[in-house]
Structure 1
Amino acid sequence: MPPTTITVDYLIIGAGATGMAFADVLVTESNHTMAIVDRNQAPGGHWTMSYPFVRLHGPSRVYGVHSRAMPSDSVGANLASGHEILDYYDRVMRETLLASGRVTYLPMHNVDDVEPGGPATVRAHSLVSGASTQIAVRKRVVDASYMNITVPAMRRLNYDVEDGVPIVPVNQLVNLGGPAERFTVIGAGKTGLDACLWLLHHGVDPDRITWITSRDAWMNNRDQEAPLSRFRELTKLHACNSVDDVINALEQMDLIIRRDPRVRPSAFRCATVSSAELAQLRKIEHVVRLGRVRRIDSAGVRLDEGSIQSPPGTVYIDCSADGLTQKPPKPVFADNTITLQTLVPCLLAPSAAIAGKLECLDLDDDSRNRLAPPVVNPSTSRDLLSFFGTRMERLHRWSGSPALFEWLLGSRLGSALSDLQEMTDQGNRAAVSLLASHLEDLLKRDGVSA
C-alpha cells in the first residue's frame, strides 16, 4: 500500500512535556500547521510509563503548557498527580491542538532518520499496523525527544541480578501481592525519594527499609519555592568567595536541604522535598553509601566499594533510572530544525514554550539563539551555582527582549522565574546580572569539587 502523504509547516517529534509545550504555543500564537509524531499511545511522554503514585515535585503552575492551567494550579502545596497530568495532556491534545484543525497527531508511530539540510520529507510508520505516512515539512522539523527523560520502566537494569532474586521496578511496587520482610530501595533521585515515602506512608517500619544511594544529593526545599523577590536575598551571595561558601549560604537560607546533616552531599539533581517529607526520610537509618550497585544475588548486594548482606525475604525496588539527561548542548535553532532543550535548569516545559514563542517572533535564528542558549542539567553539588546563577542570568537576558518579556509576564509558565515582575526595574536587572556573573566567576576560579 502506498504511504499516505500530508504536508505541514512543522513536524514535531515527541508528544511529551516539551513537544506539547512547544506545539501549544505554535497553535495559540500562529496560524501554522503541524504534525506531531509520538511512539506512545497517548500524549505525555514519560508520564505514560511512570509509577502509579508519581506526582510532580514542584508546583503545577510551572508545568504543562502556556494556554491551559492545571486543575491543581491554585491548590497551594498540592502537587499534580500522574493521573491528573495524563488527563491534562489528553485534554490539551483534543481540546486545544486537534480542535484547532491545524494539527495532525500520529500516536504509536516512529519517525525514520531525518536528514539535515533543506526542507524535509520524513516518513513515519505505525508501530501497530506498519502503515507509512509521508510528511512533507515546509518549515522546520522540531526534535522534542532530544532530552529524553527516562523512568525505570523505560530501561533495562544496569547491574546483574541472579535468577530468582525478587526485584521489581518502582512501577510494580503497588502490585507486590503481599508484605515483604525487608525492602531495599536502589536509587537516591526523585524516584527513590518517592518510593521511600510511599513505603513509609503505607506503614512500613523504617527499620525494614534499606536505601542504597550512590551519592547523597542536595534537594530543593519546597517550603521555600518560588517566593516573591527572592533575588534580593540571593544578592547576599556576592559576599561568598568560593563554591563552598555559596552552598553553605544557600543552606542557611533554607533554599536547599540535605537528608543527613552529618553527610555533605556531592550531587544535585533538582529533586524537591518539603520539610514534612524530609522528616519522614530521616527515619530511614539504614542508608548504604558504597557507590553503584554491580550485582544482586541471594546473599546480598555487591557495590563499587563493598558488599552488604540481605536477609531472606528482601524485595529490591529499582529506582536507578537517571531521569534528567545531560545531553551536550547544541543550537536550538539551526537551519530547518529546532532541537528543544533546557533553557532554565530542570524546567523543560517552560523552556520549550519559550522556544515556541521565539519561533513565532519576527527574529532571525542568530537572534533566537542569543535569547535561548541551552544549559546542561545539574549533576554535582557545584552545579547549584549554575542552577541559581542561570535563573538570574535569564531574568536579565529575557527582560531585555520586550516582546518575549511581555509574553512571559502574561504566561502561567512565566512563574517559573519568580522574580520576573521585578525586572521592570533597571536597578533590579543590573543586580541579577551582577549576581549571575559573580557565581559564574566563582565556578571558573574554584576548581575544587564542592
Structure 2
Amino acid sequence: MEETIAADYLVVGAGAMGMAFVDTLITDSTKTVVVVDRYARPGGHWTTAYPFVHLHQPAEWYGVNSKRLETEGIEEFGWNKGLVGGSSRDEVCAYFEEVMKKTFLASGRVRYFPKSDYVGEGEFRSIITGKTYRVGKDTCIVDATYSQTVVPSMRPPPYEVAREVEIVTPNDLPGISRGYANYTVVGAGKTGMDACLWLLENGIDASHITWIRPRESLLLERDAFQPGPEFATKSYAFVKGIMESIMVASSLEDVLKHLVAAQVLLQVDESVAPTMFHCGTVSRLEFEALKQIKSVIRKGRVTRVTPEEVILNNGSYKPVPDTLYIDCSASAIPQVAPVPVFQDHKIILQPVRYCQQTFSAAMIAHVEATYDDEQLKNELCGPVPMPHEPIDFPVVMLQTNLNALGWHRQPKTVAWLSQCRLDYTRYLGMSVPEDAEQKVTYQVQRIMGLEASCKKIQGLINKLPEKDAAKMNAQLRASL
C-alpha cells in the first residue's frame, strides 16, 4: 500500500536541527512540510541520551527560534552554580514535543510521521505498519541527519569486552545497584567528562576513578558564554581574547598558544599537548573537579578489556579488581565532509556557525524562505565543519566569520538576526547602541573586525605547506 502526499518540503529527521529548520520555515513562509523520523518522539539524540546530561550552553539560545526553552534563571546548586540554566534531557525532550504539537501540528501545515524510515527518492515507510508514503517530484528534500550524531547507547562498545567484565553506558550508570572498587571511564570527550562529574557528584572519591583519555582536549569556558549584563565583562573579554590572539599570531599553531595563554581555551592537564577540540564547554567548577582525577591512562584507544588486563593501541595496564567500566567512546558528531547546503531540490543541514547547530538550521531556513538564487544561498550558508583537532579552531572561525560578513551585506538577514533569539552574539559582550549614528559606527567597526580576522587567518593558512593549505582552502570552498 502506498500513499502520495503533497508537500513543499520533506524533512528527514526530527532532531534539534530538523526542528529548528521547520520552525523558521513555517514562521517565515506559508510552505507545507512533512517530517519523518525513526524515533517515536521528536528530539533526535536527546531521546536516547543519558538521563543526567544537560545542555552545555545556556538554554536561552537553544531549541527553535519561535519558542523559548524555559529555565529558572541563575543556577544555585551543582556544577553550573552561578551560571544561566542549562536544561536537562527530560526538559529538552518535553520542549521538542510541545513544539511539535502546539506549533508545528497546530499550524495545519506540518504532518509528522514518527517511527518511519526514509527510503530515499522522496519515499518513506512506517516501521510499525509497513505502509509506504511518497512525496511529489517537486518536493524539496531536507536532510537533517547529515551530522550523524551518535551517543554511546546507540551502539555496542567498539572494542572487545570479556564476558566477566562489567560495563555500562552512561544511560545505565544511574541504575547501578552496588558500589565498586574502581570506576573506569572510557573516553576523553564531553560524555566522558559528564560521567566523571556524575561519579564525583555522587560521592565517589577521585582516587577511585580511572579515566582512559586517548587524547587531551581543549575546552571552552562556559562562564564566557552567558547572557545578561552581569556576564558582559567576561563575555566581552572572551571575544576580545579571540580577536587579539588571531591578530598577533604568526601561525595557526601560534593562534592556539595565544588562546590558551589568554584562557580562551582551557585544558585539564597542561603538561600534555592537546590533540582534540570538539567545542566542549566546562564551567570553572567542573574544570577544577576534573583536575582531581589523577589516574589517567594515555596509551591510545582501548582494543580489549578483560578482568586481568586492559589492552590499548599503545600498551596495556592491569585494572583494579572489581572495576565498573563506563563506555563513553562515541564521537557524538563524527567528522563528515562539508558539502553545499543547497543542491537544487535538496537541502543538507550543516552548521553555518561553529558549534551552533540549532541557530545554523534556523539560519538555513531563513535563507531558503527569503532568497531565490541558489548561488547566493550557498554563499550565505557556507558549511562550517565540526572541529576535531585544535588546529581546526581558527579555520572554523574563518568560515564562521565569512558567513557573518555575507549576512551583514543582506538587509533582510540583518533584520532577521536582530530578532533571532538563537543568535548568541546578541547576548555577548557590548550591547548595540540605541542611537542611530552610534549603531552605524558599531556595525562598521564590527564588520571591519570580521574582515581583519578573516584576512589574517587566510594569510596564516596560506603560509602552511602547499598540501595542507590546499586541503583547508578546499573545505572553505565547499559551499560553492
Contact in 2 for aligned 1:224/1:254 (Cα 8 Å): no
Which deviates more, 41-50 or 227-236?
A: 227-236
Choose the corresponding residue for 1:262, options 253, 258, 271.
271
TM-aligned CA deviation for residue 188 of structure 1: 0.8
Choose the corresponding residue for 1:110, options 117, 122, 125.
117
Which deviates more, 356-365 or 420-429?
A: 420-429
Is residue 362 of structure 1 aligned with residue 336 of structure 2?
Answer: no
Which deviates more, 139-148 or 240-249?
A: 240-249
- 2:458 aligned partner: 440
Aligned residues: 441
- 2:478 aligned partner: none
Which whole-Å CA distance do the structure 2 matches of 1:244 and 1:35 have between them?
46
Which whole-Å CA distance do the structure 2 matches of 1:229 and 1:139 have between them?
46
Which whole-Å CA distance do the structure 2 matches of 1:134 and 1:261 have between them?
55
Q: How does 1:313-352 map to 2 (within 5 A)?
A: 313-352=322-361
Is residue 292 of structure 1 aligned with residue 301 of structure 2?
Answer: yes
- Once the two structures are superposed, residues 26-63 of structure 1 have per-residue CA deviations (whole angstroms, 9 ceiling, x without a partner) of 11111111100000000000000000000111111221
- 2:4 aligned partner: 5
Q: Judging changes above 3 Å, is the alpha-carbon distance between structure 1 residues 346 and 298 closer, same or farther for their aligned structure 2 residues?
A: same
- Once the two structures are superposed, residues 367-397 of structure 1 have per-residue CA deviations (whole angstroms, 9 ceiling, x without a partner) of 1001101121111111121243344333322
Which whole-Å CA distance do the structure 2 matches of 1:386 and 1:430 have between them?
19
**SS of residue in 2 equivalent to 1:388:** helix
Which whole-Å CA distance do the structure 2 matches of 1:156 and 1:377 have between them?
24
Which deviates more, 418-427 or 250-259?
A: 418-427
TM-score (norm 2): 0.88
Contact in 2 for aligned 1:61/1:69 (Cα 8 Å): yes
**SS of residue in 2 equivalent to 1:8:** coil
1:60 maps to a residue whose letter is A
**SS of residue in 2 equivalent to 1:412:** coil
1:445 maps to a residue whose letter is K
**SS of residue in 2 equivalent to 1:112:** strand
TM-aligned CA deviation for residue 74 of structure 1: 4.7
- 1:208 aligned partner: 208
Contact in 2 for aligned 1:60/1:73 (Cα 8 Å): no
**SS of residue in 1 equivalent to 2:404:** helix
Contact in 1 for aligned 2:116/2:127 (Cα 8 Å): yes
Which whole-Å CA distance do the structure 1 matches of 2:326 and 2:25 have between them?
41
Contact in 2 for aligned 1:146/1:340 (Cα 8 Å): yes
Q: Judging changes above 3 Å, is the alpha-carbon distance between structure 1 residues 369 and 378 closer, same or farther for their aligned structure 2 residues?
A: same
**SS of residue in 2 equivalent to 1:268:** coil
Choose the corresponding residue for 2:443, options 422, 425, 430.
425
Identity %: 35
Q: Judging changes above 3 Å, is the alpha-carbon distance between structure 1 residues 292 and 82 closer, same or farther for their aligned structure 2 residues?
A: same
For structure 1, the residue ranges without an aligned partner over 5 or more in a row are 115-121
Is residue 71 of structure 1 aligned with residue 70 of structure 2?
Answer: yes
TM-aligned CA deviation for residue 354 of structure 1: 0.4
TM-aligned CA deviation for residue 138 of structure 1: 3.2
2:222 maps to a residue whose letter is R
Which whole-Å CA distance do the structure 2 matches of 1:193 and 1:231 have between them?
25
Contact in 2 for aligned 1:7/1:138 (Cα 8 Å): no
- 1:119 aligned partner: none
TM-aligned CA deviation for residue 349 of structure 1: 0.8
Contact in 2 for aligned 1:168/1:316 (Cα 8 Å): yes
**SS of residue in 1 equivalent to 2:277:** strand
Which whole-Å CA distance do the structure 1 matches of 2:143 and 2:84 have between them?
33
Which whole-Å CA distance do the structure 2 matches of 1:435 and 1:202 have between them?
44
Contact in 2 for aligned 1:59/1:73 (Cα 8 Å): no
TM-aligned CA deviation for residue 314 of structure 1: 0.3
- 2:144 aligned partner: 144
Contact in 2 for aligned 1:142/1:337 (Cα 8 Å): yes
Contact in 2 for aligned 1:299/1:310 (Cα 8 Å): yes
TM-aligned CA deviation for residue 137 of structure 1: 5.3
- 1:185 aligned partner: 185
Contact in 1 for aligned 2:38/2:117 (Cα 8 Å): yes
1:37 maps to a residue whose letter is V
Which deviates more, 255-264 or 230-239?
A: 230-239
Which deviates more, 86-95 or 219-228?
A: 219-228
Q: How does 1:120-159 map to 2 (within 5 A)?
A: 122-136=122-136, 138-159=138-159
Q: Judging changes above 3 Å, is the alpha-carbon distance between structure 1 residues 253 and 389 closer, same or farther for their aligned structure 2 residues?
A: farther
- Once the two structures are superposed, residues 93-133 of structure 1 have per-residue CA deviations (whole angstroms, 9 ceiling, x without a partner) of 0111000001100000001122xxxxxxx222111121222
Q: Judging changes above 3 Å, is the alpha-carbon distance between structure 1 residues 137 and 84 closer, same or farther for their aligned structure 2 residues?
A: farther
TM-aligned CA deviation for residue 232 of structure 1: 4.0
Which deviates more, 419-428 or 137-146?
A: 419-428
**SS of residue in 1 equivalent to 2:34:** strand
Is residue 59 of structure 1 aligned with residue 77 of structure 2?
Answer: no
- 2:30 aligned partner: 31
TM-aligned CA deviation for residue 275 of structure 1: 1.0
Q: Judging changes above 3 Å, is the alpha-carbon distance between structure 1 residues 150 and 332 closer, same or farther for their aligned structure 2 residues?
A: same
**SS of residue in 2 equivalent to 1:270:** coil
Contact in 2 for aligned 1:161/1:296 (Cα 8 Å): yes
For structure 2, the residue ranges without an aligned partner over 5 or more in a row are 75-82, 227-234, 433-438, 470-480
Choose the corresponding residue for 1:400, options 397, 405, 409.
409
TM-score (norm 1): 0.93
Which whole-Å CA distance do the structure 2 matches of 1:184 and 1:444 have between them?
43
- 1:40 aligned partner: 39
1:218 maps to a residue whose letter is L
TM-aligned CA deviation for residue 229 of structure 1: 7.7
